[in-house]
Amino acid sequence: MRIMGLDVGSKTVGVAVSDALGWTAQGIETVKIDEANGEFGIDRIAELVKEYTITEFVVGFPKNMNNTVGPRGEASENYKKLLEEHFSLPVKLWDERLTTMAAERMLIEADVSRKKRKQVIDKMAAVMILQGYLDSKN
Arithmetic mean of pLDDT, 34-59 = 94
What was the pLDDT predicted at 63? 80
Angle at Cα 121 formed by Cα 21 and Cα 6, nearest 5°?
A: 45
Q: What are the strands, taking DSSP E only, across the chain?
A: 2-8, 12-18, 25-32, 54-61, 91-95
- pLDDT value of residue 99: 66
Report the distance separating Cα 61 and Cα 64, nearest Å. 10
> Would you say domain 2-137 falls under CATH 1.10.287.130?
no
Give the end-to-end CA distance of the chain in Å, rounded to a whole number: 14
Average pLDDT value for the chain: 88
Q: What is the pTM of this model?
A: 0.87
Whether the per-residue pLDDT at 100 is higher than 90: the answer is no
What are the residue ranges spanned by the domains of the chain? 2-137
